Amino acid sequence: MNRRRKIYEGKAKVLYEGPEPGTLVQYFKDDATAGNGKKHEIVDGKGVLNNRISEFIFTKLNGLGIPTHFVRRMNMREQLIKEVEIIPIEIVVRNVAAGSLVKRLGLEQGTQLPRSIIEFYYKDDALGDPLVSEEHITAFGWATPPELDDIMSLAIRVNDFLTGLFMGVGIQLVDFKIECGRLYENDMMRIILADEISPDNCRLWDVKTRNKLDKDRFREDLGGMLDAYREVAQRLGILVETDNALTTGPRLVQ
Ligand code: 5GP
């Protein structure tokens, strides 16, 4: 059997050449990193949970007509995706003050924002993914003004959907990060959602207890990261309630 060609390896995922032209395989690793890779641990089972949570969300988004790169899950750690040209911008949508916004503007964590706020960060590890404006994005050609309009409307639709999805299972969507790409089909190009949506790139707070159910458990050394991710999966109906034993790893609903 031939080894697959690795296209790209990031901190939490690997991309391999897909089975057909225009496809890739997205592999979810167990690596947890924070502080631009300064902090690094292996969290057994995280990749399996993120693969399933992201599959669940992207399937629903596709069903709503919000275009994504997701085609289908292949196995516990891999999904088949459409190959896109990634736009080098991280799009963050915020509903509640937390994280870097709190530090930058001196807000109190947990403050409801007057309205959802979209921010852009330039994807560059060496620079620490700096905050940039629409002017930077269009002036440097990272995306055109019409592409930016598409990206923002996509981000708002994803926020509306995710806010309702999580609220329905007692979780507040504080903020999240998405990435978009250009999909070329025949002579057409359109902007679609890429990457993943999981507790690795969302802030999710339990509505009743205010417990953090996301990667901040790792970033802030709170412990219980895998349990939190499992809790999210359970509430979304992806994991069955009895599958709690850390030792056996997550047993997933088919
Ligand atoms: P903040 O800017 O407050 O650190 O992050 C805002 C939101 O975007 C959080 O939900 C955070 O998880 C997500 N986010 C921002 N940058 C990254 C990143 O480089 N990787 C991941 N996984 N999530 C990010």
Q: Which domains, ranges and CATH numbers included, belong to the chain?
A: 6-84+227-252 (3.30.200.20), 86-206 (3.30.470.20)
Output the CA torsion 216→150→147→88 (10° steps): 10
Q: Tell me how far the alpha carbon of residue 101 lies from the centroid of ligand 1, in angstroms.
A: 11
Q: 142: which DSSP letter? A: S
Q: How far, in Å, from the CA of 100 to the mean position of ligand 1? A: 9
Q: Which of 124, 176, 177 to mutate to test the pocket of ligand 1 (most atoms within 8 A of CB)?
A: 177
Provide the pLDDT for residue 36: 83
Distances (CA, A) of 190 to 134, 155, 228: 19, 15, 35
Distance from Cα 41 to the centre of ligand 1, integer Å: 17
Ligand 1 atom nearest residue 12's Cα: 22
| Pair of tokens at residue 209 | 């207890």
Q: What is the pLDDT of residue 247?
A: 37
Query: In whole angstroms, how far apart are CA 67 and each of 40, 62, 114, 241?
Result: 32, 6, 28, 31
Q: C-alpha distances in angstroms, 25 versus 13, 41, 82?
A: 10, 24, 9
Task: Quote the ligand 1 centre to 185 CA distance (angstroms).
Answer: 30
Ordered per-residue pLDDT tens for the chain, 254 residues: 567 899 999 999 999 999 999 999 999 999 999 988 889 999 999 999 999 999 999 999 999 999 999 999 999 999 999 999 999 999 999 999 999 999 999 999 999 999 999 999 999 999 999 999 999 999 999 999 999 999 999 999 999 999 999 999 999 999 999 999 999 999 999 999 999 999 999 999 999 999 999 999 999 999 999 999 999 999 999 988 665 544 355 556 65
- Residue 177: in which H helix or E strand, if any? strand 171-185
- Tell the residue nearest (CA) to atom 18 of ligand 1: 201
Instruction: Please tell me the predicted confidence (pLDDT) of residue 3.
Output: 74
201 C-alpha vs ligand 1 centroid, how far in Å? 5
Rounded to two decimals, what is the model's pTM? 0.94
Enter the tokens of residue 27: 């592999």
- With a Cβ cut-off of 6 Å, ligand 1 is lined by 90, 92, 98-101, 129, 175-177, 200-203, 215
Q: Token digits for 232?
A: 């999210």
Q: What pLDDT score was predicted for residue 88?
A: 98
Chain position carrying tokens 């690596």 = 31
